[in-house]
Amino acid sequence: MSSTHVTCTINGDQVEFLCRGDQTLLDALRDTAGLIGVKEGCATGDCGACSVILDGRLTCSCLVLAPEAEGAAILTVEGMGGPDGLHPLQEAFLEGAALQCGICTPGFLVAGKALLDRNPDPTEEQVRYAVAGNLCRCTGYDKIVRSILAAAADMKEASEAKETV
Amino acid sequence: MKYIAPASVEEAVSILAGGAAQAYAGATDFLPQLQMGRPKPEQAVDLKRIDRLVDLRLEGDTWVIGAAVPAVRLTEEEQLAAELPGLVESAALIGSDQIQSRASLGGNLCNASPAADSVPAMVVDEGRAVIAGPGGMRTVPVASVVTGPGQTSLAEGEFVVEFEFDRPPARTSDAYLRFIPRTEMDIAVVGAGVRLSLDDSGRCTAAAVALGAVAPTVVRVPDAEEALAGRALTEEVLAKAAAASEAACNPIDDKRGTKEYRRRVAGVLTVRALKLAAARAADR
Ligand SMILES: Cc1cc2nc3c(=O)[nH]c(=O)nc-3n(C[C@H](O)[C@H](O)[C@H](O)COP(=O)(O)OP(=O)(O)OC[C@H]3O[C@@H](n4cnc5c(N)ncnc54)[C@H](O)[C@@H]3O)c2cc1C
Ligand code: FES
Ligand code: FES
């Protein structure tokens, strides 16, 4: 079967890979790029475990064909932390015990980031809508929502501290 | 299945003319359907690399919305949301943020689900679909595209390029409400799209009512429209419109609701949507 050559940016790095026309971006990220933080829960758009930020928008990677990634910028959970350590959302999830088995966690983190990127000061209701496309079978929703709110507060405090320096 | 991303409408027409190819936009219906075992086409034709399909613009007095524009972009376009709030709120109801980033009006219409949220709104706003195919371009009312569950009037090789909506005149507005058993992420039990125009005294001069999820295709409710036209929106007149909506339903029984329940909800939603559209129209 013929392969398509794709060049894109994943977590800030330029990446090239070969994929088939019927392969999803989820499969290419996991099986070819080795980014196994991206999870498969349902493969039909319902659970959000495969969430990535694709060209600035939160997307289920199971609903994207891998060749569509040509020229795109993709962020997965692996790209959230930096050289200085974990992302504030990751810190807040640890602090708030916002996970049990952890399968849904990468998707919630990426969805949380997509929200905070466009709305740094969300209300609880806005957080709940922003993660409505993410399912957690261990039913940790309250802790997840509270941790996203805590991360938003931490990030606000950090940026205000920076401004006063 | 081969992936192809044509760069122009003409290129897409020639690829799709073979009959073994399937066009898609956000793939939020297309890929789940393949996952569920629908046969794969030989070629998956991604429409999102064609400029016209992902363009959203005001052309004179007409909004032109590319068939592959994702729903989130309708919400972000403030002037569109102010002028056609019912259309935009119907698209904004499609799925989660993840789905909003991808789901298009073209896919919502051509997937031909009876419960597709944007279709009643497109119908009451008298949207037109611009269709390209082997025989050239044609423009048809959105209401004529879906012919049954999963069935459209598109001929082999045809696809929707864009939708056109005339800007509403003064004191005219629309609304779309749907009822689902949860607050997010579910399929409509009933969806009600309405549009109405008011005169200076607040009397309704013209109305359009369309219901989703209560019949094999979206249904217009001419009896409700007649009951409203030329009248003040008194409780009595609204009750007539509700009764007409109930009578227009031809629903199914399923786990989301019985026939009787769906009929009743159709009447209630019609009235609520009319009140909302009337309040919006009075502000314009
Ligand atoms: C988790 C989830 C939640 C959802 N929630 C809702 C909801 O609340 N309400 C709702 O109405 N829908 C919902 N849907 C269904 C789906 O998201 C919508 O129908 C969406 O609008 C489809 O658009 P798309 O661009 O993804 O279509 P695609 O999947 O790309 O295409 C759908 C169908 O239309 C055809 N097609 C696409 N574009 C064209 C075109 N331009 N011309 C001709 N044919 C075309 C394709 O061949 C395919 O058969 C949901 C789906 C998921 C996965
Ligand atoms: S695996 Fe993509 S939404 Fe569940
Ligand atoms: S922590 Fe187990 S699914 Fe969410």
Contact between chains at A4 and B3 (C-beta distance less than 8 A): yes
What do you get for the CA distance between the two ends of chain B, in Å? 50
Supply B58's token pair: 């005001």
Instruction: Compare A139 and B149 and report the one with higher pLDDT.
Output: B149
Which of A46, A50, A99, A139 is the pocket-test mutation for ligand 3 (most atoms within 8 Å of CB)? A99
Judging contacts by C-beta atoms under 8 Å, the chain A residues touching residue B94 are none
Which chain A positions have a beta carbon within 8 Å of B36's beta carbon? 44
- On chain B, the residues whose CB falls within 8 A of the CB of A75 are none
Interface contact A44-B102, CB threshold 8 A:
no
pLDDT per residue over A14-32, tens digit each?
Answer: 999 999 999 999 999 999 9
Per-residue pLDDT, A164: 77
Q: Is the pLDDT of residue B80 over 80?
A: yes
d(CA B163, CA B63): 8
> How high is the pLDDT of residue B199?
97
Closest residue by Cα to residue A25 from A58, A56, A54: A54
User: Average model confidence (pLDDT) for chain B?
Assistant: 96
Beta strand ranges found along A4-163 (DSSP E): 4-10, 13-19, 51-54, 57-60, 73-75
CA distance A165 to chain B (A): 35
pLDDT computed for residue B251 by the predictor? 85
Domains, chain B, in order of start with CATH, read 2-166 (3.30.465.10), 172-282 (3.30.390.50)
Question: How many Cα atoms within 13 Å fall on the side-chain side of residue B100?
Answer: 25
A2 touches chain B (CB under 8 A): yes
The residues near A126 (Cβ < 8 Å, ≥ 6 apart) are: A115, A119
* Statement: the pTM of the whole predicted model exceeds 0.95: yes
Please, what is the average pLDDT of chain A? 95
Per-residue pLDDT tens for A41-79? 999 999 999 999 999 999 999 999 999 999 999 999 999
Cβ proximity of B220 and B236 under 8 Å = no
Predicted confidence band of residue B253 (pLDDT cuts 50, 70, 90)? confident
**Residues B130, B96, B107, CA angle at the centre, nearest 5°?**
20
Contacts of B197 (CB under 8 A, 6+ apart): B169, B171, B172, B204, B205, B206, B207, B281
Write the CA distances from A5 to A21, A26, B217, integer angstroms.
10, 16, 42
- Rounded percentage of chain B residues whose pLDDT exceeds 70: 99
Task: Calculate how far, in angstroms, residue B234's C-alpha sits from the geometric centre of ligand 1.
Answer: 38
Q: Mark B57-92 as b/e (b = at least 16 C-beta within 10 Å).
A: eeeeeebbbbbbbbbbbbeebeebbebbbbbbbbbb
Instruction: Write down the ipTM of this complex.
Output: 0.96
Q: Which residues contact A55 (CB under 8 A, 6 or more apart)?
A: A72, A73
Mutation pick from B50, B97, B100, B187 vs chain A, by most beta carbons of A within 10 Å, is B97
Which atom belonging to ligand 2 lies closest to the Cα atom of A39? Answer: 1
Give A44's contacts in chain B (Cβ within 8 Å).
31-32, 35-36
Question: Is the model's pLDDT at B28 over the cut of 70?
Answer: yes
Residue A57 CB coordination number (10 Å): 17
Kindly report the nearest CA distance between residue B28 and chain A, in angstroms. Answer: 6
CA A121 vs. chain centroid, Å, equals: 19
CB under 6 Å to ligand 1: residues? A 45-46; B 22-30, 32, 47, 67, 93-95, 99, 102-104, 106-108, 110-111, 116-117, 159-160
Nearest-neighbour CA in chain A from B2: distance (Å): 5
Distance CA B25, CA B50 (A): 10
SS3 of B87-155: the string is HHHHHHCCCCHHHHCCCEHHHHHHCCCCCCCHHHHHHHCCCEEEEEECCEEEEEEHHHCEEECCEECCC
Q: Which domains occur in chain A, in start order?
A: 3-79 (3.10.20.30), 88-160 (1.10.150.120)
